Amino acid sequence: MGVRGAGGARRPLPLHGTGLTLALRPAVPRTPPPAPPEETAAQDWQPTRALGRALLLIGLLLVAAALFGRVDLVVLAVPFAVSVAWGLSRRPTAVPGLRLATSEEYATEGSSLTTTLTMANRDVVAYDIAIARTQHSAWLDLTAEGSGAKPDRPVVAALDRNEAAAVVLAGPAKRWGRHSIGPAAAVAAACGGLLACRAVVTGSLGFKVFPVTDPFAAEDAMPRAAGLVGQHRSRRQGEGGELAGVRVFGPGDRLRRIDWRTTLRTQQLHVARTLSDRDADVVLVLDLLAEAGTSGGTGGASSVMDITVRASAAIAEHYLTVGDRISMIEYGSSARRLRPASGRRQYMTALEWLLDVSSRQVVRTPGESRMSEAISPNALVVVMTPLLDARSADMVAGLARAGRSVVTVDTLPPGLVPTVTGPWTSSALGIWQLERANTIGQLREHGVPVVAWAGAGSLDLVLRDVARMAGRAQGARR
């Protein structure tokens, strides 16, 4: 695993345990680095207010000593003069080196991430004080190894010349999504605090934190298996492993299909009938019109988006493992789509696609016709929706009317209560719950099963119903 970093200094990478250093061939002829011009160094390091105060006090005391002829005032100025003379005798020229590095690029919820913040003094003058600070996403629970301090506090250290200090930040990622550590910033003061350098800022490191998938399995048949290969028992007879019955041998039957036991019993050639094994298209529609509930990260409460993303990842993982094609569609502001594909690569693509899922209130949503046109008639459509917006129920009903096999997963977290309460809250909540139950009942009447997400086996019961309905004759739409 490589080392990623963000920082100002480029240096050879040490290969741990080998004592070697990875040196890369330069693309252009090597030239000695130009020495920083004196003006640049002067711009990097500026006098502090302490230097101004020291000079002002020295001036006042000496002028007063000259005016009033008092040698004691000269003595009072001596420590200030000595400190300025000593401090400015050797001035710093280089700004501190700052680097953020990590060995991880992605993780899953709950797993640990490690980042090292390194601050180095590359100057010939010691830094009396060097201050480094970084920031990170709220869902990264990082602490400094050793001290246990949170990295939201600045770290102050004294650095001798050619000395470096490192802070190792480690901790778990508590929620899925794209998170970052950085940018980090550092400042330093030298010469007894008389000079301070400009702030040095690094870039930030991005991390992909993939959702933890609840264990999910669906044993029942797909409503309409589509391809010619796969693991699903289809409703059509053909080459496969699932026994569908025994019939009398006919012209064209293969000899290896002869069922010898029945043939011997009946004294007539019989062949075994099997159902063909086929793959299927699964389309996951993610309703992003509304967010509800509080997200507590791993081990905490789940919001609508959490349930949507984790359930989608689990369903995608299951069907991709058995060789099906998965595609995803956002029902919300951006209406993103993930093209259908199968395999391990599609699983990683789907996980990355899910990282960018976010809820946003929108006025216009994709039309019902556009949604159903984008979905294959043979696909199993799994809609993840909290049914908080009337347009979501309309979309689901529209897909069902267009002849798609639709299963609705209710992603509303259980036990949700309004955050703002009033005298009419309980009554209003009761009415809203009745309306929602009514909507769910209407969807069921349209042949759309609605099931709350409960991990493994969530869809088994409803998939059986959907498969049964897919087998019946469909009436033509007017």
C-beta of 51 vs 113, nearer to another protein: 51
Nearer Cβ to another protein, position 110 or 192? 192
Minimum Å gap between C-beta 143 and another protein is 11
In the complex, least distance from residue 131 CB atom to another protein, rounded to whole angstroms = 7
Chain residues binding another protein by CB under 8 A are 42, 46-84, 86, 88, 128-129, 131, 133, 144, 147, 149, 153-158, 189, 192-193, 196
> What is the helix (H) or strand (E) element at residue 344, kind and residue range?
helix 344-355
Q: What is the DSSP letter of 255?
A: G
- The smaller minimum CB distance to another protein, of residues 62 and 201, is found at 62
- The per-residue DSSP string of 108-125 comes to ETT-EEEEEEEEE--SSS
Provide, rounded to whole angstroms, the least separation between the CB of residue 115 and another protein.
Answer: 17
Query: What is the smallest separation between the CB atom of 65 and another protein, expressed in angstroms?
Result: 4
Q: Cβ closer to another protein: 15 or 63?
A: 63
| Residue pair 271/249 in contact by the 8 Å Cβ criterion | yes
To another protein, the closest distance from the beta carbon of 64 in angstroms equals: 6
Smallest distance from the beta carbon of 55 to another protein, in angstroms? 6
- Would strands 155-159 and 106-108 be described as parallel, antiparallel, or unpaired? unpaired
CB 133 to another protein: min, Å: 8
Q: How far is the CB of 321 from another protein (least distance, A)?
A: 47
Nearest-angstrom CA–CA distance, 145 and 256: 67
R_g of the chain, CA atoms, integer Å: 35
Place of tokens 């493994």: 456
* Cβ closest to another protein, residue 158 vs residue 264: 158
Least spacing, CB of residue 74 vs another protein, in Å: 5
Neighbouring residues of 228: CB distance < 8 A, sequence distance ≥ 6? 276, 278
Minimum distance between the CB of residue 84 and another protein, rounded to whole angstroms? 8
Query: CA 376 → CA 5, 280, 399, distances in Å?
Result: 44, 10, 11
Token pair of 34 as six digits? 């130009």
CB of 390 vs another protein, minimal distance in Å: 36
CA distance 60 to 46: 23
Q: Are 330 and 337 in contact (CB under 8 A)?
A: yes
Q: How far is CA 245 from CA 273, 276, 277, 439, 468, in A?
A: 5, 13, 16, 42, 19
* Closer Cβ to another protein, 79 or 238, answer by number: 79
Residue bearing tokens 């990590």: 102
Record the tokens describing residue 161, joined without a space: 């010349």
For 155, phi then psi, to 5°, come to -110, 130
Q: Whole-angstrom Cα distance, residue 130 to residue 166?
A: 12
Nearer to another protein, 138 or 149 (CB): 149
Nearer to another protein, 80 or 207 (CB): 80
With respect to another protein, which residue has the nearer C-beta, 65 or 164? Answer: 65
Contact criterion met (CB below 8 Å) for 284 and 319: no
Counts for the chain of helices (H) and strands (E), in that order = 10, 24
3-state secondary structure 440-463: HHHHHHCCCCEEECCCCCCCHHHH
Residue 7, exposed/middle/buried by CB under 10 A (0-12, 13-18, 19+)?
buried
d(CA 442, CA 439): 5
Nearest approach in angstroms of CB 445 to another protein is 50
Choice between 133 and 446, CB closer to another protein: 133
Give the nearer residue to another protein in terms of CB position, either 68 or 424: 68
Instruction: Quote the CA–CA distance of 243 and 287 in Å, as a whole number.
Output: 39
Whichever of 89 and 474 has its CB closer to another protein, that residue is 89
Give the 3-state secondary structure of residue 217: coil
